[in-house]
Amino acid sequence: MKSILKKLNVFFQTEILVLNLPSEFEKNFNKIKNVEIFESLVQLNKFSYGILFTKSIENLKNQLGTLLPKIEDDGELWVVFPTKTSGIQTDICTKYNWHLLRNNCFEIVDEKQINNNWKAKRFRKLEYTKWKELSKIA
């Protein structure tokens, strides 16, 4: 199985923001060379590539208030969350509508199954997605 780093294309970045990194992935991220990892929003004015690990909608909501204004225009945000079968308590499910991001003009552009316990969805601002072009047609 591919590592989380390959699945989320971390190796193509020079700087990444990683928030709430679970201990099970620390070893993966500690192996990264030539990529600067920031673990706090305080360290950055803006970022173009971020990974947010979250276990609850409430945590997601709390993080997004300070996170969204710091995403560069063409930036990407991966939200990584536990699966219902992971044994990790979560209120985020596959059918969650992601309104906290969509109401701020972010759209899902990719999804990955990280492992049996974690899934990820990649978000970008609407104007940088194919959805922008589709909305012009409608």
CATH number at residue 125: 3.40.50.150
Q: Mean of the pLDDT values across residues 12-17?
A: 94
The number of folded domains in the chain is 1
The per-residue pLDDT for 63 is: 95
Average pLDDT of the chain, as a whole number:
91
82/94 Cα distance (integer angstroms): 10
Exposed e or buried b per residue across 90-118, where buried means at least 16 C-beta atoms within 10 angstroms of its C-beta: bebeeeeebebbeeeebbeeeebebeeeb
Query: Position of tokens 């971390």?
Result: 10
Q: Which two tokens stand for residue 15?
A: 């700087």
Report the candidate in 88, 27, 38, 92 with the shortest Cα–Cα distance to residue 67: 38
Report the pLDDT averaged over residues 39-46.
94
Centroid of chain to Cα 66: 14
Domain range enclosing 97: 4-137
What per-residue confidence (pLDDT) applies to 1? 52
d(CA 3, CA 124): 22
pLDDT confidence of residue 138: 44
SS3 101: helix
Asked if pLDDT for residue 86 goes beyond 50, the answer is yes
User: What proportion of the chain, given as a percentage, has pLDDT over 90?
Assistant: 80
Q: Is the pLDDT of residue 132 over 80?
A: no
